[in-house]
Structure 1
């Protein structure tokens, strides 16, 4: 084996570091999935409770609150997952390109590598790094929480139609 080939092989410390990073990434992805599961469970329970109470009186706000809270938590975990992926990608880039000083300084560093969308340069993109602060409206988050919000609104209106239509009749909007 040539000297150059030996330099490009991960040693045990490197592999262990990559495995630890991968474990953190998997945990963040699992937490994100758990946010969706818990949100659906809580919203379903609150909607079932709303079905048994025939008065609107703020129930929709009580149901929307966990949706927004879990949306925030989901984005938070996705943000950190992306930061850890950036850390792993940057580490591998340093290793492959022989940036030994940077490589040694970053071994066993677990701080997520956060990059704002406005700071994402072509140099970062060429290394395979991505922005971490634009997770609110990604394809894995927005459709799920957006559809849930719309469904809750539609179901709440359907369940409370008599109360809502009474409001319109009382205010004189509908004759």
Structure 2
């Protein structure tokens, strides 16, 4: 592997790192906003704050899924440049090219990211718990 290929891999890795950092920050912001809205509920006893907390969960879920999708595409490029991808799946990548449009297969699809094991449990369970909590607080569900 020559210096130009190594530099190309460094560029790709820096993008992957940036996507991963963005994803981590989105999770932190989601938890912060949900906590703030639940604190408003605790202060006012207005159950609508619990339901409103579902909105940032959904927004951050969509954003985080987008960043994961992009990260997966760049990982695909990285694997193709390094030769780690099996030959039957390998995409041709020229030096310093980052052809995201070539990565449309199932594992690079948005829905695959949306329901991934790293994203769905956090956002999905949070949204469901907020919704159920709101119903319980309103008295719609009794134990």
| 8 Å Cα contact 2:61/2:123 also seen in 1 | yes
| 8 Å Cα contact 1:51/1:159 also seen in 2 | no
| 8 Å Cα contact 1:32/1:77 also seen in 2 | yes
| 8 Å Cα contact 1:54/1:159 also seen in 2 | no
**Aligned pair 1:20/2:20, yes or no?**
no
The alignment's C-alpha RMSD in Å is 2.2
Higher relative contact order (CA 8 A, sep 6+): 2
**Aligned pair 1:91/2:69, yes or no?**
no
Pick aligned residue for 1:140 from 92, 95, 118: 118
**Aligned pair 1:152/2:130, yes or no?**
yes
In structure 1, C-alpha distance between the alignment counterparts of 2:125 and 2:51, rounded to whole Å: 16
User: Post-superposition shift, 1:146?
Assistant: 1.4
Count of matched residue pairs: 132
Q: Which residue does the alignment assign to 2:95?
A: 107
Please give the per-residue CA displacement for 1:72-104, whole angstroms capped at 9, x wherever unaligned. Answer: 01000000000001111112229xx8xxxx55x
Q: Structure 1: which 4+ aligned runs deviate by more than 3 Å?
A: 157-161
Gaps of 5+ in 2: none
In structure 1, C-alpha distance between the alignment counterparts of 2:61 and 2:104, rounded to whole Å: 21
**Helix, strand or coil at the partner of 1:135:** helix
In structure 1, C-alpha distance between the alignment counterparts of 2:135 and 2:52, rounded to whole Å: 14
Please give the per-residue CA displacement for 1:32-77, whole angstroms capped at 9, x wherever unaligned. Answer: 1111111001100011101112233x33332111000000010000
In structure 2, C-alpha distance between the alignment counterparts of 1:155 and 1:52, rounded to whole Å: 16
